[in-house]
Chains A and B, each alone.
Chain A
């Protein structure tokens, strides 16, 4: 009986000590899709979080990484745990749009900053607490429109996914192209699992535009591209940043040769011209990630976790001056610090979050690539 009591005492003391130390530390909740259909995106992000240092800006940072299994419901329960049990100062995640959208109301209710690793559109009252790490469509459409302007292109045919990705691109591209005097003369849709896009390609080619814009992702971007070429289209073909993966060339082969792909800077770090502001950060990210996980393992998603650390390095000192970690004041100070962070160099581009813009990337971000000899080459 006696020993038992002693044990409880020791345990209680240890628990007390643990809480005491946790008080001084900064706690960060991270919800990622490490399993389930979207795990291909979530796992590299998790890998990069594992490379984080134990202290940032002289403060011990505890990362609490939970798996949401690509399920928004699980993401919400992770977020609830973060804000009620762990009393985190900030939430990172989710790594897919649906989870991010589900976490946002929880974060807003607990007045905790959420840094989303997926692009997500939200109502204003939730948007106040959410900042996004991936590039938005407008920032990626900018280099394409600029490139078209330089090439003297006046008319464009659009072939995109019949989903939110395709629609957002069509809207953004039509606006920016219109301002530059470029007209979208035909817009056709397709789905990734379609057995044939020949009819759409026929209609687009018969509209005879100067260039085509294909909006699709990964290996799904090759099929529409091939169909356009098969129908005898001779003009320039542009692809979006979701297509900037080796799968485009693997499936597209010689048909995608000579086409243009817009991309964030992180995936082509080594090739960036020295004038690109993100060169140093992108090279640092890629070399460290590949040193840990092997050559060729790098993906753009891991870069977002790298950029998340840059955010913390910048905002923690500012917020620490105002309040102690673990308090509501500290959480509010963090949000204000992120919003007022100013122009910051990320591995993925140049970020400038403001009170009115929580997407934030500036137009210096995007890079045009050209498929040449089966490789992506930066177009200067």
Chain B
């Protein structure tokens, strides 16, 4: 191995690491606020990439139907709950409209826009608008009523949600993979190193998102409310912060980050309906590195996972996943030695 090869490997690893970093941040965010270990985080990546691919092909993506079905399920659940609580009809109606308005609106736009072949950026925006509401809907359907359950129960629910989403993904997107066109086809040559425009976009987008997240948590009221909930749920509730709306907000942000990651990674690889799981899992390894609590450490961990994966593939491609996932063991050991705390139930 010479410097050129090492350089190419490093660029490749950091590019993937930047995407893992986004997913790791989303995982940490969701866990801190709701104590849910959100395994299906990766599914949003696949949904984002595949939705854009189908829009590119001029078809109405399966995401639209999926979204409408989920929204209808949540609305029905709310109606049933409200009816049992004897809420007045006007309130029931208002709740239903609030749940359905956005999904129906976005779906209508998707139906209108799909055959018209809009520019790539408009389709990307539509994709994000379609995938982001999944976060809240999944939270309300699967987790909200269990908000006070133990971490273990929530983890088991996550596994169930993961399998459901992968199965439905197969139904709505089909078994074949798609590759999206690059957002920017430019190539930059720095000596023997070639940097693609897409890789540059990945770096810049990740950086912008990380800064935006930091600003959100430091400067905005909603961000501070999320942080308060993360620090102490009961205390935040006593201060008038609704823990369920904090949960919905964090899941929405997770879905948004997932969809964006899907757009970023779609042009660099072929994405299948089930590709998201492994990508999300690598984000999770990085999040574990950060003890599921520190955003900067998650970023470092994700870049490390990307580099490890890239160099591991070069030296021993047959054992690549083994190398990446085995590193979680020493990390867990180190974490439990560094800050031992009793099991939380």
Enumerate chain A interface residues (CB-CB to B < 8 A). Answer: 37, 40, 162, 188-200, 202-203, 206, 218-220, 222-223, 247, 251
Asked if residues B8 and A198 are in contact (CB atoms below 8 Å), the reply is yes
- The interface bits of chain B over 245-281 (1 if a CB of A lies within 8 angstroms of the residue's CB, else 0) are 0000000000000000000010011101011011100
Asked if residues B313 and A200 are in contact (CB atoms below 8 Å), the reply is yes
Can you list 7 residue pairs at the A/B interface with Cβ under 8 Å? A188-B313, A196-B15, A199-B9, A199-B314, A223-B270, A251-B177, A251-B179
Q: Which residues of B contact A200 (CB under 8 A)?
A: 313-314, 317
Tell whether B183 is near chain A: CB-to-CB under 8 Å. Answer: no
Q: Which residues of B contact A190 (CB under 8 A)?
A: 313, 317, 320
Asked if residues B313 and A199 are in contact (CB atoms below 8 Å), the reply is yes
Distance between Cα atoms of A69 and B270 in the complex (Å):
27
Enumerate chain B interface residues (CB-CB to A < 8 A). Answer: 5, 8-9, 12, 15-16, 19, 170, 174-179, 265, 268-270, 272, 274-275, 277-279, 310-314, 317-318, 320-321
What is the distance, in angstroms, from B43's C-beta to the closest C-beta of chain A?
13
Distance between Cα atoms of A339 and B39 in the complex (Å):
51
The verdict on A198 contacting B310 (CB below 8 Å), with A206-B5, A222-B270 known, is yes
Asked if residues A219 and B178 are in contact (CB atoms below 8 Å), the reply is yes
Q: A196-B12, A198-B8, A200-B314 are in contact. List 15 more A-B contacts (CB 8 A).
A: A40-B174, A162-B320, A188-B313, A188-B317, A189-B318, A192-B177, A192-B272, A193-B274, A195-B268, A196-B269, A197-B313, A199-B317, A218-B176, A222-B179, A251-B270
Contact of A194 among B8, B19, B269, B318 (CB under 8 A): B269
What is the distance, in angstroms, from B179's C-beta to the closest C-beta of chain A?
5
Asked if residues B317 and A198 are in contact (CB atoms below 8 Å), the reply is no
Distance between Cα atoms of A194 and B270 in the complex (Å):
9
Asked if residues B317 and A219 are in contact (CB atoms below 8 Å), the reply is no
What is the distance, in angstroms, from B325's C-beta to the closest C-beta of chain A?
13
Distance between Cα atoms of A220 and B265 in the complex (Å):
16
Distance between Cα atoms of A206 and B8 in the complex (Å):
13
Asked if residues A220 and B270 are in contact (CB atoms below 8 Å), the reply is yes
Asked if residues B5 and A189 are in contact (CB atoms below 8 Å), the reply is no
Asked if residues A193 and B170 are in contact (CB atoms below 8 Å), the reply is no
Distance between Cα atoms of A223 and B270 in the complex (Å):
6
Distance between Cα atoms of A197 and B16 in the complex (Å):
11
Asked if residues A193 and B275 are in contact (CB atoms below 8 Å), the reply is yes
Contact of B270 among A189, A203, A219 (CB under 8 A): A219
Q: Which residues of A contact B277 (CB under 8 A)?
A: 193
Contact of A162 among B177, B274, B279, B318 (CB under 8 A): B318
Asked if residues B175 and A198 are in contact (CB atoms below 8 Å), the reply is no
Interface centre among B179, B270, B275, B278 (most CB of A within 10 A): B270
Which secondary structure characterizes the binding site on chain B? Answer: helix
Write the chain A residue with the least CB distance to B313: A199
Q: Which residues of B contact A196 (CB under 8 A)?
A: 12, 15-16, 268-269, 310, 313
Q: Which residues of A contact B268 (CB under 8 A)?
A: 195-196
Distance between Cα atoms of A162 and B316 in the complex (Å):
11
Q: Which residues of B contact A199 (CB under 8 A)?
A: 9, 12, 310-314, 317
What is the distance, in angstroms, from B314's C-beta to the closest C-beta of chain A?
4
Write the chain B residue with the least CB distance to A245: B176
The verdict on A193 contacting B314 (CB below 8 Å), with A37-B175, A40-B175 known, is no
What is the distance, in angstroms, from B235's C-beta to the closest C-beta of chain A?
40
The verdict on A203 contacting B314 (CB below 8 Å), with A191-B321, A195-B279 known, is yes
What is the distance, in angstroms, from A219's C-beta to the closest C-beta of chain B?
4
Contact of A202 among B5, B170, B176 (CB under 8 A): B5
Contact of A195 among B8, B16, B174, B314 (CB under 8 A): B16
What is the distance, in angstroms, from A220's C-beta to the closest C-beta of chain B?
6
What is the distance, in angstroms, from B9's C-beta to the closest C-beta of chain A?
6
Q: Which residues of B contact A191 (CB under 8 A)?
A: 278, 320-321
Write the chain B residue with the least CB distance to A197: B313
Q: Which residues of A contact B12 (CB under 8 A)?
A: 196, 198-199
Q: Which residues of A contact B174 (CB under 8 A)?
A: 40
Distance between Cα atoms of A202 and B2 in the complex (Å):
12
Distance between Cα atoms of A196 and B5 in the complex (Å):
15
What is the distance, in angstroms, from B198's C-beta to the closest C-beta of chain A?
12
Distance between Cα atoms of A218 and B19 in the complex (Å):
26
Q: Which residues of A contact B177 (CB under 8 A)?
A: 192, 218-220, 247, 251
The verdict on A223 contacting B317 (CB below 8 Å), with A37-B175, A199-B12, A206-B5 known, is no
Distance between Cα atoms of A220 and B176 in the complex (Å):
8
Write the chain A residue with the least CB distance to B265: A195
Write the chain A residue with the least CB distance to B277: A193
- The 9 A-B pairs of least Cβ separation, nearest first, read A199-B313, A199-B314, A219-B177, A198-B12, A189-B318, A188-B317, A193-B275, A223-B270, A189-B317
Asked if residues B179 and A223 are in contact (CB atoms below 8 Å), the reply is yes
Write the chain B residue with the least CB distance to A40: B175
Distance between Cα atoms of A198 and B15 in the complex (Å):
11
